[in-house]
Amino acid sequence: MTPTPRRAVRPIDAEVHALRQVTRAAMAELEEVRRRQSELLDMEAALLVAIDVRTRRMDALLDARLRVAVPDGAPCAGGVLPGGVA
Instruction: Please name every residue paired with 85 in a beta bridge, in sequence order, or none if there are none.
Output: 81
pTM over the 0.85 mark: no
> Given this model, what pLDDT does residue 77 score?
59
For 43-80, give one letter per residue: b (16+ CB within 10 A) or e. eeeeeeeeeeeeeeeeeeeeeeeeeeeeeeeeeeeeee
Q: How confident is the model at residue 83 (pLDDT cuts 50, 70, 90)?
A: low
User: Is the Cβ–Cβ distance between 53 and 41 less than 8 Å?
Assistant: no
| pLDDT (average), residues 56-75 | 86
pLDDT in tens, 1-57: 677 778 799 999 999 999 999 999 999 999 999 999 999 999 999 999 999 999 999
Percent of the chain residues past pLDDT 70, beyond the cut: 81
